[in-house]
Amino acid sequence: MKRIRKNAQPEAFLRWKALANEDWKPSWDNFQKPQKTEVHQALLQEQGSLCCYCGQLIAMDRTVDARESHIEHFVPGEKSTDPRSLDYENFHASCLKQGERGVPLHCGAAKGGWFDSELTVSPLEDHVESRFRYDARGHIHAASGDRGAAETISRLNLDREPLIGLRRNAVEGALFNEQEPLPIEVIQLVLEAAKKRQSDGRLMSFAQAIESVGRTLVPS
C-alpha cells in the first residue's frame, strides 16, 4: 500500500455542497456528474492514478471508466445520512467497481462495509508503506506481528488472484529478465523511477511492490 497525501477538495465539490437549503440537501444519492466525475479525477490525481489499496494503475482519462474504478469510502456508513459519505478526507479511488463472474472481488469492492478502527490500515498513515512487504512471486505480506496489516490483506483479498498474477507480472517486468534479476545499476534506476510521477502525474503500476522487491536485490 502506497502512502497517499490528500489535497484540498475540488472547488466544484465545495460549491455543490454549499447549495444545501431547506428543500435540498446534498447526499451520496444525489451526488452525480459533473461534480462526482471531478472528485473522482481529483482522487486519481492525488494517488498518481494508482488504486488506494492494491496499487495497480487505473486508467485516467476524461471519462474515468466506472467499471475500472470507484470512489471508496474508507470509513463506510449509511450513505444517505452519514456526513462522512460526502467527506473528501474519507474518499479514495479504488480499482474494480464490478467484478467478473466467478472471480473474487478485491480492494474497495471486497472491503464493502468492513471497518475496524484498530485493524483497518489507512493509506493516509505516515508509516503505511512499512506495514507491508512483497515478494517476487507476486505475494503481499504483513510486516512481522502486524495484525492490522494481516487482517487488511485478508479482508480486501489482496493476496489472492487476480492480484497475485498482476503483481508478479509487474515485478518481473520491471526487475527481472527470464527469472534473473537485472544488473544492479538498472535495478537502482528502476527504484528511482518507482518513486517518481511521470509527466502526466501517474506513478508506476504496483510501484510499492516493485520498490519492496527491488530493495532486496541491491546490496545495502
Binding site for Zn ion (CB under 5 A): 51, 53-54, 95, 107
- Least separation in angstroms between residue 54's CB and Zn ion is 3
What CA–CA distance (Å, rounded) separates 142 from 135?
Answer: 11
Burial of 113 (0-12, 13-18, 19+ CB in 10 A): exposed
Closer residue to Zn ion in complex, CB, 13/53: 53
Please state, in angstroms and as integers, the Cα–Cα distance from residue 74 to each residue in 71, 90, 113, 131, 205, following that order: 9, 5, 9, 18, 22
What CA–CA distance (Å, rounded) separates 110 from 95?
Answer: 11
Closer residue to Zn ion in complex, CB, 107/190: 107
- Least separation in angstroms between residue 53's CB and Zn ion is 5
- Least separation in angstroms between residue 108's CB and Zn ion is 7
- Least separation in angstroms between residue 40's CB and Zn ion is 15
CB 104 within 8 A of CB 160: yes
Closer residue to Zn ion in complex, CB, 51/149: 51
Closer residue to Zn ion in complex, CB, 107/153: 107
